[in-house]
Structure 1
């Protein structure tokens, strides 16, 4: 009986934490994310990015000049594995179908 109460209590706490996280408002990162494409194209600049952004097809390097981490994904929907780019750092990105979220 004690084990059952523990399991039920744990599930209730976990569900409450999940609801609390789901209700947390998303806050846009302050600053810019710049994406270098090619030498003949201008930079793609994202001001105060919030949510998921598909990278340009010719993206080559992402630079994080925001106040928070940026996650780079290999797919266009910000799903699956990602690489975290800390503020003030950059990362090579695979051309084609990647995305980032801030």
Structure 2
């Protein structure tokens, strides 16, 4: 139960940090990935093309001005989930990727 609460709090903090205060900021043109509470956030600055996600990825936040697509494979080949600007998504740990 404590782990679930930690993940929920960390996810909320990540979403707030990535999205700003109710759209008060311009997008940072960054995609941020949360893995675990013990690891620093992984940040992809101005991402272009396909990027493999870290192995323990848990949440991805799209703080760009365009849609990103999250895939279940490391090569951006399978059908993917689209994440609009200013939104985030849970991602399964493993060998996923995203394209911007």
Q: TM-score, normalised by structure 2?
A: 0.72
| Structure 1 residues not aligned, in runs of 5+ | 1-29
Q: Residues 46-65 of structure 1, C-alpha deviation per residue, up to 9 Å, x if partnerless?
A: 00000000000000000000
Say whether residues 1:37 and 2:35 are aligned partners.
Answer: yes
Matched, 1:86 2:80: no
In structure 2, the gaps of 5 or more residues are: 1-27
The alpha carbon displacement at 1:44 in A equals: 0.3
Question: In terms of Rg, which structure is larger?
Answer: 1
Q: With structure 1 as the length reference, what TM-score do the two structures score?
A: 0.70
Q: List, as ranges, runs of 4+ consecutive aligned residues in structure 1 with deviation greater than 2 Å.
A: none
Displacement of 1:80 in angstroms is 1.2
* Distance (Å, rounded) in 2 between the aligned partners of 1:70 and 1:42: 22
Q: Cα RMSD (Å) of the superposition?
A: 0.8
The aligned counterpart of 1:101 is: 99
Number of aligned residue pairs: 73
